[in-house]
C-alpha cells in the first residue's frame, strides 16, 4: 500500500526533481493572487449590489451567487476549458477557437467561483452594521455612495476579515482543480511526477508545499476570529478622555 515510503533512494530522486515542484508552486501562487484579486473586486461589487435598494441589482447579485455556489467548481472549469474557446470564437467572430491559457482559466475559474462566496461575506458584513449608521451619515450630508465608502464599509472589516481569509485559504486549495485540465500547477506537476516514477513521495511533497501556503493562513484565520470577539476599548487621548479613576 505504502511501498517504498522510507526508501532513501526514492526520496533522493524526488528531491532531485524539486524544480518541477517549485515551478508548480510558483504557478499556483500566481493563479492564487490573480484569482484572489478577481474575486475580491467582483465579490465587493456583488456584495454591495445585494444591499442596495435597486431590485435589479439585488436580483443580479442573487442569481450570480446562487448559480456559482450551487454548481461544482470542476464542472465550471471543465466548461471554460472545453467549451470556452469555441464560445468565444462564436461571440467574437474569430476565424479559429480562441485559445485560453491555463493561467487564465485558473484565475477566472477560482476568481468567479469565490466571488460568490466573498459577496455573501461582504453582504453579511454590511448587514451587521446597524441601519442607524447609514441614516446618521445621510443626515450629515453624505451621499449614499460616500456613506458606503467612508462609514459603512470600514466598520465591516472586523466582521468580514476572518471569513475572508478563510475564503483565501479555500481558494488556494481550489487552484488544484487545474490539475484536472493539465494546468501546470503544483498538483498537476506532482501528479505527473508520481505517474512517471510511481513514487508516492510526489504526493507527500505536494502535501508539504500546500501546507506551507495554507497553514499560515489557517493560523491567521484563528487569530482574527479570536480578535473579532474582543470588544473594542476607547482610545486614551490625554485631556479629552476622562482620566481613569483610581480604585480605592
Instruction: Please report, as ranges, the residues that interact with other proteins according to CB under 8 A.
Output: 1-2, 66-67, 69-75, 78-79, 82-83, 86-87, 90, 169, 173-177, 179-180, 187, 190-191, 194, 200, 203, 206-207, 210-211, 214-215, 217-218
Residue closer to other proteins by CB (options 12, 222) is 222
8-16 and 201-228 helices cross at what angle (nearest 10)?
Answer: 70
Residue closer to other proteins by CB (options 78, 142) is 78
102-128 and 18-49 helices cross at what angle (nearest 10)?
Answer: 40
From the number of C-beta atoms within 10 Å of its C-beta (0-12, 13-18, 19+), residue 66 rates as exposed
d(CA 27, CA 23): 6
Instruction: Report, in Å, the least distance between residue 178 CB and other proteins.
Output: 10
Q: Among candidates 5, 12, 22, which has minimal Cα distance to 190? A: 22
Residue closer to other proteins by CB (options 152, 169) is 169
Instruction: Report, in Å, the least distance between residue 2 CB and other proteins.
Output: 6
Q: Which three cell numbers stand for residue 73?
A: 467548481
d(CA 154, CA 158): 9
Residue closer to other proteins by CB (options 93, 242) is 93
Instruction: Report, in Å, the least distance between residue 135 CB and other proteins.
Output: 25
Four-point Cα dihedral 126, 107, 110, 209, nearest 10 = -110
**CA dihedral sign, ordered 80, 116, 184, 92:** positive
**CA dihedral sign, ordered 31, 34, 40, 46:** negative
Residue closer to other proteins by CB (options 21, 148) is 21
Residue closer to other proteins by CB (options 75, 237) is 75
Q: Which three cell numbers stand for residue 98?
A: 480562441
Residue closer to other proteins by CB (options 49, 113) is 113
Cβ neighbour number for residue 127 with a 10 Å cutoff: 13
Instruction: Report, in Å, the least distance between residue 222 CB and other proteins.
Output: 10
Instruction: Report, in Å, the least distance between residue 207 CB and other proteins.
Output: 5
Instruction: Report, in Å, the least distance between residue 208 CB and other proteins.
Output: 9
Instruction: Report, in Å, the least distance between residue 165 CB and other proteins.
Output: 13
Amino acid at each position: 500500500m505504502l511501498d517504498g515510503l522510507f526508501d532513501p533512494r526514492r526520496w533522493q530522486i524526488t528531491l532531485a526533481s524539486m524544480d518541477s515542484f517549485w515551478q508548480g508552486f510558483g504557478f499556483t501562487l500566481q493563479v492564487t493572487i490573480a484569482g484572489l484579486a478577481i474575486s475580491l473586486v467582483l465579490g465587493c461589487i456583488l456584495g454591495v449590489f445585494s444591499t442596495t435598494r435597486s431590485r435589479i441589482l439585488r436580483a443580479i447579485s442573487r442569481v450570480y451567487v446562487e448559480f456559482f455556489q450551487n454548481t461544482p467548481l470542476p464542472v465550471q472549469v471543465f466548461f471554460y476549458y472545453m467549451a470556452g474557446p469555441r464560445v468565444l470564437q462564436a461571440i467574437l467572430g474569430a476565424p479559429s477557437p480562441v485559445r485560453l491559457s491555463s493561467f487564465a482559466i485558473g484565475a477566472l475559474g477560482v476568481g468567479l467561483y469565490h466571488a460568490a462566496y466573498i459577496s455573501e461575506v461582504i453582504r453579511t458584513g454590511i448587514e451587521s452594521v446597524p441601519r442607524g449608521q447609514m441614516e446618521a451619515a445621510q443626515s450629515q450630508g453624505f451621499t449614499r455612495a460616500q456613506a458606503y465608502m467612508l462609514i459603512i464599509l470600514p466598520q465591516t472589516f472586523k466582521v468580514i476579515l476572518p471569513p475572508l481569509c478563510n475564503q483565501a485559504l479555500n481558494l488556494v486549495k481550489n487552484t488544484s482543480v487545474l490539475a484536472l485540465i493539465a494546468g501546470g500547477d503544483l498538483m498537476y506537476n506532482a501528479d505527473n511526477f508520481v505517474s512517471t516514477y510511481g513514487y508516492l513521495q510526489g504526493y507527500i511533497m505536494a502535501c508539504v508545499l500546500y501546507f506551507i501556503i495554507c497553514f499560515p493562513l489557517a493560523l491567521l484565520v484563528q487569530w482574527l476570529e479570536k480578535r473579532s470577539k474582543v470588544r473594542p476599548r476607547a482610545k486614551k487621548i490625554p485631556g479629552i478622555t476622562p482620566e481613569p479613576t483610581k480604585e480605592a
